[in-house]
Amino acid sequence: MTTAHGPQDDPVQEEIVVYQNPLLFLKVWEVRYRATDGGARDYWPWHYHKEVEFLVVTEGRLVVQTKDERFELQPGDVALFGSSQLHRVRHAAPGTLAFLVLQIDLLQHFDPGSLPYLHGFAEPTRPLAELNYIWREQPDVRREAAALIAELYRESQDRQRGYELAVAAAVKRLLWLLVRHDSRRLLQAAEADDVRRLRPALDYIETRLHERIAVDDVCRLMNFSYHYFIRFFRATMGMSLLEFVNYNRIRKAERLLLTRDLSIAEVAAQVGIPSMAQFYKLFGRFNDCSPKAFKQRMGAGAGTVIRSGSGADQPSRPHPPGPNQEA
């Protein structure tokens, strides 16, 4: 079991997840924490990690905040956060709080038969957290997901013979639940071969967001002609290369604003947008506010809390789990 330290501890910022079994690409553990009157309403620090995260509350009430919404989880409720999505959490009231945390590289759990759905889970333009509507609208699916994560935790703790098969099967069932019950069709399937062909270009972009990215350089990497690459990228990803790059640059800027002591000009430079006018324009396009207002808003944590089980689905203002030092 993992015990979370209190909100006064140093910020986590970018969390490096160490897998319990490197072949399963996941970590699952229980956080148990007791808050007093004085510390119950303090948030744990903003943080993010490349793994997708699921939370299941087993005792107490937990307030979760992301960039886009803030909501409360009660026992049996589930929350999902996408890869590198900023989030933080806090106790909703004094007393004992317990929840399960599953951090997993979902993309490693796709086999040839399920590859067409890899595109949706790769989060090219939207975080997987948008799928949280499923738990709110479909209580039976929420209960099954919570039971699957609890099973993953038990199997990973007990490590009986064949537990790897049980864990892999539970992960596949989680993926199936999300695909089958995504009534809004957010998880659009794509041609598996097309996504695989673009992977070198996507990796190239991800590691060079801080510098100028030239279409010609990406074309040479892929050995595609300019016009063929532009058409192929849009058809596969559902957006132009420029839109994709700008989306990921602003996502990185959001993380830097909340987790690093940098000026807005320094953040803009680190995401490859040296022009302040262009940075403010792009940031406003994705967030409807300036970088300074975004930082103030997220630090204040203002907004009405949505109770997860109530069926409400309108966003208020932004989430994540506490640190995970071993007890």
Residues 10-63 have pLDDT tens digits of 444 678 899 998 889 999 999 998 877 655 567 888 888 989 999 999 999 999
The DSSP annotation for 82-137 comes to: -TT--EEEEESSSEEEEEEEEEE-GGGG--TTTGGGHHHHT-SSS-GGGGGHHHHH
Which CATH class, in words, describes the domain spanning 13-188+302-310? mainly beta
In this structure, the dihedral spanned by the alpha carbons of residues 152, 83, 100 and 148, taken in order and rounded to 10 degrees, is -30
% residues pLDDT > 70 (the chain): 82
Q: Parallel, antiparallel, or unpaired for β 52-59 and 62-66?
A: unpaired
Q: How far from chain centre, in Å, is Cα 28?
A: 16
What confidence score (pLDDT) does residue 192 get? 59
What confidence score (pLDDT) does residue 191 get? 61
Q: Which residues contact 297 (CB under 8 A, 6 or more apart)?
A: 289, 317
pLDDT of 314 > 60? The answer is: no
pLDDT of 212 > 70? The answer is: yes
Residues 259, 14: contact at Cβ < 8 Å?
Answer: yes
pLDDT of 8 > 50? The answer is: no
pLDDT of 283 > 60? The answer is: yes
pLDDT of 88 > 60? The answer is: yes
**Residue that the structure tokens 């050995």 belong to:** 223
pLDDT of 215 > 80? The answer is: yes
pLDDT, mean of residues 290-294: 90
What confidence score (pLDDT) does residue 10 get? 41
Please return the burial class of 199, using the count of CB atoms within 10 Å of its CB with bins 0-12, 13-18 and 19+.
Answer: exposed
Mean pLDDT of the chain: 83
CA-derived radius of gyration, the chain:
20
pLDDT of 106 > 60? The answer is: yes
* Alpha carbon distance 257, 259 (integer Å): 6
Between 303 and 244, the more confident residue is 244
Q: Which residues pair with 89 in a beta bridge?
A: 64
What confidence score (pLDDT) does residue 150 get? 97
**Residue that the structure tokens 């990921």 belong to:** 248
Residues 286, 243: contact at Cβ < 8 Å?
Answer: no
Q: How far from chain centre, in Å, is Cα 105?
A: 11
What confidence score (pLDDT) does residue 197 get? 86
What confidence score (pLDDT) does residue 247 get? 85
What does the domain layout of the chain look like in residue ranges? 13-188+302-310
pLDDT of 242 > 50? The answer is: yes
Which band of pLDDT confidence, cut at 50, 70 and 90, is reported for residue 125? low
